[in-house]
Amino acid sequence: MDGNAFAYTADELYKLSGRLYQVEEDVKRSYICRASKTMLVNMDKIESVRTALNGRLYAKMENGEEILITRKYAKEIENYFMKEDDNERV
């Protein structure tokens, strides 16, 4: 938002220095994936995933929030869960 990146936790909101792509490069964790042009997601906090139109996905987070994973990043998210579940489709 307005050139700033924010991190949401269960209890807090943090303003991060740098742009989202810089944060993504700094984090470089296997469980942090890009969900859209404007969002990174902690894969360990996803409760469930369901398909949406046009190759997109909806992810329900542990806090009840539902986020849209765009088509461009859906495959990466799907591959993460397939790896975790012995290649069973999400």
How does pLDDT run across 19-77, given as a tens digit for each residue? 888 888 888 777 888 999 889 999 999 999 999 888 899 999 998 899 999 999 999 88
Closest CA to 57 of 22, 86, 81, 27: 81
The residue to which tokens 């990174």 are assigned: 40
Coil, strand or helix at 48: strand
The amino acid at residue 39 is: M
The amino acid at residue 15 is: K
Coil, strand or helix at 87: coil
Distance CA 34, CA 17 (A): 18
